[in-house]
A and B are shown apart, each in its own frame.
Chain A
Amino acid sequence: MEGVYAFCVGLMTACGIFLTLRGRSFSVVVGLTLLSYAVNLFLFASGRLKLDAAAVLGMSEEYGDPLPQALVLTAIVIGFAMTAFAVILAMRARADLGNDHVDGRNPQTKESARQKAGGQR
């Protein structure tokens, strides 16, 4: 089970990283979301995996490690706030700059933008 779990976390991390390396802000946000799933699973697993362990006291002899769970719970909520901030920032960037590339300018139009600027001058 642990091997499969680790494989999934690794795959999600890889997918997330690949998307964050893309040039368009939406892909980056999707990548960040994927990455935060992976990070949450990662943190959660530091308490080791347990099947059918009790969540509350008095239900069973075996408990899941509550500390990583508490950490991940807040991490999920904060992760949402971060995703929201990033996506709104992306929208704002598009509204102010006219494109949705993370660098703030379209790579294809670099040449034409230069010509345009030259012509105006």
Chain B
Amino acid sequence: MNTLLCIPLLVLLGTLVPLCSTRYSRTACAFLTAALPAVALFLVLQLAPAILDGQRFQTAIEWVPSLGLSLAFRLDGLSLLFSLLILGIGLLVILYARYYLSSNDNIGKFFCYLILFMFAMLGVVMSDNLIQMWVFWELTSISSFLLISFWGHKSDARKGARMALTITGTGGLFLLAGLLMLGNVVGSFELQTVLDSGDVIRASSAYPVITVLILIGAFTKSAQFPFHFWLPNAMAAPTPVSAYLHSATMVKAGIFLMARFYPSLAGTDLWFLMVSMTGLATFLLGGYLALFQHDLKGLLANSTISHLGLITLLLGMGTDLALVAAIFHIINHATFKASLFMAAGIIDHESGSRDMRQLNGLWKYMPYTATLAMVASMAMAGVPLLNGFLSKEMFFNETLHQNSLGSISWMVPVLATLGGVLSVAYSLRFIHDVFFNGEPINLPKTPHEPPRYMRVPVEVLVALCLAVGIFPSFIVGDLLYSASNAALNGDVPSYSLAIWHGFNIPLLMSAIALVGGLVVYYNRQHLFKFQAQFPTNDPKILFERAIQQLVSKATWFIGFTENGSLQRYMYFLMMLTIIVSAYPLLDLDATAGHRPEIPLDALSITGAVLLSLASLATVIWHRRRMVALLTLSVVGLIVTLAFARFSAPDLALTQLSVEVVTIILLMLALFFLPQKTPKESSPRRVVRDLGISAMIGGIVGTVIFALMTRPLDTISDFFTENSKTGGGGTNVVNVILVDFRGFDTLGEITVLGIAALGIFKLISRMRLYMPSGNEQGRPWSSDRHPLMLSVVSQSLLPLALLVSAYIFLRGHNMPGGGFIAGLITSVAIIQQYVAHGVDWIKDRLKLDYQIMIGSGIGIATLTGLGSWLFGRPFLTSWFDYFYLPVIGKFELASAMLFDLGVFLTVVGATMLILANLGQLTTSERAVYEEEV
């Protein structure tokens, strides 16, 4: 097992550890949870020297190579940097969360979510396949949702989590579309191929769409304007989550994405305008909003937005040096912002409030924490000797060297300085308002220093801020170089990480920012008053309103379309049918084709007229149900005749016997149903339905006419040629059924059997209303089984069975076969039921129709399986000719055995339905008579 694969897998395994160890003490749980990520970090560090030397590790397990799907991981400079942040800060957060969470919180669950997030985030940065990267990307959204809503009893947490998921999840869908298009343009989902084909991508016509889609994904994730509002609302999460997800890692995923695809997508005007302008707007807006927050975490969240905007602006500038500065600021921001969040969490934890109007003068109560927080916020402000100063200096320098905005390019450095002023001002506010500025007001608790080890993570991070600030190239030089190298896909420009570059314009800008920040903060009362004039529109409320409007619209729409009325669904279905089927007809130039038509004859016209009249009569008299049934049977009979007329005797025989069975069935059913349909359709509905049915009828008629008048190109010649030689039968229809397409038939008789069994279950224990007379109120005839009928039918039975056997046996060579023979047998037996009643038959005919269905399907299946014994595929048929005295030459075929299965299934299914339904009349009537 290679090391590279182990890193994410160890972390994945780590999600289970807290769940198993949650029953031990919280300390034990935290340490056990930290174990596997620590091993993963160790593995990363082990690979680090080689990567810093310029190597790149890749591993892939093929999954569906034809679709470009594989499980592929890579570790290059950029991934290394992010992996170190994710695992390193993750471990610190675990330690911190151990003290932050109270004993009421389910710490096992919390750690499980946290490690799940860690896994997802590692997956994003280490993925070597676009689709895989997207899957991990969405997993970060989901695990972030779980973490924000960890305190699910709070409405804020639920709403904030939902908002974050909605925004980032939607962005993820845009990203997916973008990645799919990107992969399509490149022809591969492998990351390295995509990175290497930047020129192809930029030249492709899909480039603008791809870029916009991917950038929307990145902007939503990294809380860029106008999607920034979810981040402050995600502050309802426990503070360790804010420190981890919403400052150091997840919000950087969007930044990571832009840096990752920098070689593929950057370097065009579109990229410059979208990325840098969004970044600049976010940078300023975040800084401005941060200044007016009263909530400690709200201030930090908005400052995070502002810093993310700064990084985005750098990425959008398009110069390679700006990218280096962006990566450098990613490191610095992660360290100082995570430590600031942790400090804010400590203050909240030990004083019971996050409101800066209450928090004042905490220096006296927690001087040590205050010192740490002050150092970190000075790093945020960009004070010299701290890491924030260095990257901000580089940032100012880069703003001076871009000229993509033409003659108004000078605005960028000015606005950047303005952003710097704002960030100094809110950093000052964080320091002065919280730790000085008088005494605390109405705090729920008396503030005090936190437990010793709760401070450790903050100390580590602040020490890093200082170390990077003082010895930049010694601490992060190599890492920054290799990350930039990976992000640029080679060719890193020369840059220097010194603290002192001499007196130059960036230094002046820093100085202006510091002084300006002081001035702004000093005059903050005026600013606050000015800001108070604006109506407060909380994005949370706006968002909730939008969501609720969407939900109510959707509910209305569902209520409109899906109101529980099947009649209405039918209407929609038919309308859809019209649209779908009429549309292609528009492209057909002529209705009639070139095939010559058969001339009309009187017989056919008579049939057509009768058919039309009977169909119309069925509709006109449909509310008098018995009459409608009679006209329906006329339609059925003419259809039978039509089959006979157009050279399909098999179909005519089948249709005739099915006709008999169907009409008997419907008459039986009608016995239990109302005899008349009430008049309830409004005239408008009648007209509407007439329109719909006329349209569909017209379409169907057109299609079939167009079809019939065009020449036929059939595959049936194969069947006709091979029927005799291959299937041993001259009735091609039957040979197709039992031989060529025997597998289909096997499926069909199985369906038939299932339908019959389903009906059997529906009939059992059905409680029906039993009418005592017909619709006029005349009681049923007491002479239930007329003598004439009994005698005639009894004598007809053997004859009918003989006909059935004949039809069955000749089926292979003449019209007939299992289906038809089965139906004829059924009709013969039903006739006995009609003539004698269920009880009479029951005493004489001991047939279990369920077993009959089962054995029928069984025989057919076994016939098919039998060919396996001879080493042939399923349902291979066999036939031969034999000679017997008296009978003469005859044929035996395995297909006949199969046909026997068909026969048994058809008889069983038909009889199971009708006999049980018929029995219902008898049993129910008996009960009725007893009651009377």
Residues of A within 8 A of B (CB): 1-27, 29-30, 33-34, 37-38, 40-42, 44-58, 63-67, 69-70, 72-74, 76-85, 87-92, 94-95, 100, 102-104, 107-108
Contact A6 B704 (CB under 8 A): yes
**Contacts of B611 on A, CB cut-off 8 Å?**
8, 11-12
Q: Are B693 and A14 in contact (CB under 8 A)?
A: yes
> Are B639 and A17 in contact (CB-based, < 8 A)?
no
Q: How far is the CA of A5 from the CA of B741 in the complex (A)?
A: 29
Tell me the B713-765 residues at the A interface (CB within 8 Å).
Answer: 714-716, 719-720, 723-724, 730-733, 736-737, 741, 744-745, 748, 751-752, 755-756, 758-759, 762-763
CA distance A34 to B914 in the complex (A): 21
Question: A89–B763 Cα gap in the complex (Å)?
Answer: 9
A33→B462 CA distance, assembly (Å): 81
A14 touching B694 by the CB < 8 A rule?
yes
Contact B758 A85 (CB under 8 A): yes
Tell me whether A17 and B658 are in contact in the complex, defined as CB-CB below 8 angstroms, given that A67-B719, A74-B819, A78-B752 are known contacts: no
One of B90-98, B127-135, B232-240, B641-649 contacting the partner: B641-649
Find residues 495-541 in chain B having any chain A CB closer than 8 Å to their own CB.
Answer: none
Interface residues of B (CB under 8 A from A): 564-567, 570-571, 574, 595, 597-600, 604-605, 608, 611-612, 615-616, 618-619, 622-623, 625, 628-629, 632, 635-636, 639, 642-643, 645-651, 654-655, 658, 661-662, 665-666, 669-670, 672-674, 677-678, 680-681, 689-690, 692-694, 696-698, 700-702, 704-705, 707-709, 712, 714-716, 719-720, 723-724, 730-733, 736-737, 741, 744-745, 748, 751-752, 755-756, 758-759, 762-763, 766-769, 813-815, 819, 823, 906, 909-910, 913, 917
Q: CB distance A9 to B741 under 8 Å? A: no
| A residues near B567, Cβ cutoff 8 Å | 21-23, 102-103
Expressed in whole angstroms, the Cα–Cα distance for A99 and B680 within the complex equals 14
Chain B min CB distance to A92 (Å): 5
CB distance from B611 to the nearest CB of A (A): 5
A48 and B645 CA atoms in complex are apart in Å by 13
Query: A17 contacts B622, CB within 8 Å?
Result: no
The reply to whether B636 and A37 form a contact with Cβ atoms under 8 Å apart is yes
Give the residue of B566, B677, B766 whose beta carbon is less than 8 angstroms from that of A95: B766
Closest CB-CB distance, A25 to chain B, in whole Å? 7
Known contacts: A4-B604, A108-B680. The answer to whether A65 contacts B716 by CB under 8 A is yes
For B733, list chain A residues within 8 Å (CB): 55, 66, 69-70, 73
Q: For A76, what are the chain B residues with a Cβ–Cβ distance below 8 Å? A: 651, 654-655, 658
In the complex, what's the smallest C-beta–C-beta distance from A11 to chain B, in angstroms? 5
Q: Please tell me if the beta carbons of B702 and A6 are within 8 angstroms of each other in the complex.
A: yes
CB distance from A109 to the nearest CB of B (A): 11
Chain B residues contacting A5 (CB-CB under 8 Å) are 608, 642, 704, 708
Would you give the shortest CB distance from B601 to chain A, in whole angstroms? 8
Partner of B701, one of A7, A63, A74, A102: A7
A56 contacts across to B, CB distance below 8 A: 730-732, 813-815
A9 and B701 in contact, given A77-B748, A89-B762 (Cβ under 8 angstroms): yes
Separation of A3 and B320 alpha carbons in the complex (Å): 75
Specify which of B615, B723, B766 is in contact with A57 (CB 8 Å cutoff).
Answer: B723
Partner of A11, one of B629, B678, B697, B731: B697
A51 to B720, CA, bound (A): 18
16 new A-B contacts at CB < 8 Å, known A7-B612, A12-B611: A1-B600, A3-B705, A8-B608, A11-B697, A21-B689, A25-B673, A26-B677, A50-B646, A55-B815, A56-B732, A57-B724, A70-B737, A74-B819, A88-B762, A91-B669, A103-B564
Q: Is the interface of B mostly helix, strand, loop or mixed?
A: helix
How far is the CB of B571 from the nearest CB of chain A, in Å? 6
A3-B597, A102-B567 known; A107+B680 contact, CB < 8 A: yes
Q: B736 touches which one: A6, A23, A48, A70 (CB < 8 A)?
A: A70
User: With a CB–CB cut-off of 8 A, which chain B residues contact A10?
Assistant: 697-698, 700-702, 704
Chain A to chain B contacts (Cβ below 8 Å), 11 pairs:
A12-B635, A21-B570, A57-B720, A57-B731, A58-B730, A80-B658, A82-B755, A84-B662, A88-B762, A95-B672, A102-B570
Which residues of the other chain, A, contact B814 by a CB distance below 8 angstroms?
Answer: 56
A102 CB to closest chain B CB, in angstroms? 4
Report which of B670, B705, B762, B815 forms a contact with A2, defined as CB distance below 8 A.
Answer: B705
Q: Could you tell me the distance between the alpha carbons of A70 and B733 in the complex, rounded to whole angstroms?
A: 5
List the A side residues contacting B651 at CB < 8 Å: 40, 44, 69, 72-73, 76
Residues of chain A within 8 A (CB-CB) of B677 are 22, 24, 26-27
- Closest chain A CB from B733 CB (angstroms): 5
Contact A33 B566 (CB under 8 A): no
B763→A30 contact, CB < 8 A:
no
Judge whether B720 and A15 touch: CB under 8 Å: no
Q: Is the CB of A69 within 8 A of B648?
A: yes
- What are the residues of chain B within 8 A of A73 when measuring CB–CB? 650-651, 654, 733, 737, 819
Contacts of B758 in A (CB 8 A): 85
- Which residues of the other chain, A, contact B823 by a CB distance below 8 angstroms? 77
CA–CA, A16 to B741, complex, Å? 30
- A20, B570: Cβ atoms closer than 8 Å: yes
Check B647 against A84 for contact (C-beta < 8 Å): no
Query: Given A4-B600, A27-B677, A66-B736, A83 and B665 touching (CB < 8 A)?
Result: yes
In the complex, chain B residues whose CB is within 8 Å of the CB of A18: 619, 689-690, 692-693
Considering the chains assembled together, what is the distance between the CA atoms of A89 and B672 in angstroms?
A: 12
- Of A53, A64, A88, A92, most B-chain CB atoms within 10 Å: A88
Whether A92 lies near B762 (C-beta < 8 A) is: yes
Known A-B contacts A58-B730, A73-B651, A95-B768; A17 and B692 likewise in contact (beta carbons under 8 Å): yes
Q: Are B570 and A38 in contact (CB under 8 A)?
A: no
B669:A33 contact, CB within 8 angstroms: no
Pick from B595, B658, B696, B719: contact of A14, CB under 8 Å: B696
B651 to chain A, nearest CB (A): 6
Give A80 to B823 CA distance when docked, in angstroms. 11
Known: A3-B705, A37-B636, A49-B598. A83 touches B662 (CB 8 A): yes
Contact B608 A4 (CB under 8 A): yes
Give the docked Cα–Cα distance between A72 and B595 (Å): 23
| Beta-carbon contact of A78 and B673 below 8 Å | no
With contacts A9-B701, A19-B619, A33-B662 taken as known, whether A47 is within 8 angstroms of B815 at the C-beta atoms is no
Which residues in A have their C-beta under 8 angstroms from that of B748? 74, 77-78
> A108: which B residues are within 8 A, CB to CB?
678, 680
Complex Cα–Cα for A47 and B733 (A): 13
Report yes or no: B598 in contact with A88, Cβ–Cβ below 8 A.
no
Bound CA span A69–B541, Å? 66
Residue numbers in A under 8 Å from B662 (CB-CB): 33, 80, 83-84
Residue of A nearest to B653 (CB): A73
A85 to B665, CA, bound (A): 11
CA A36 – CA B98 in complex, angstroms? 70
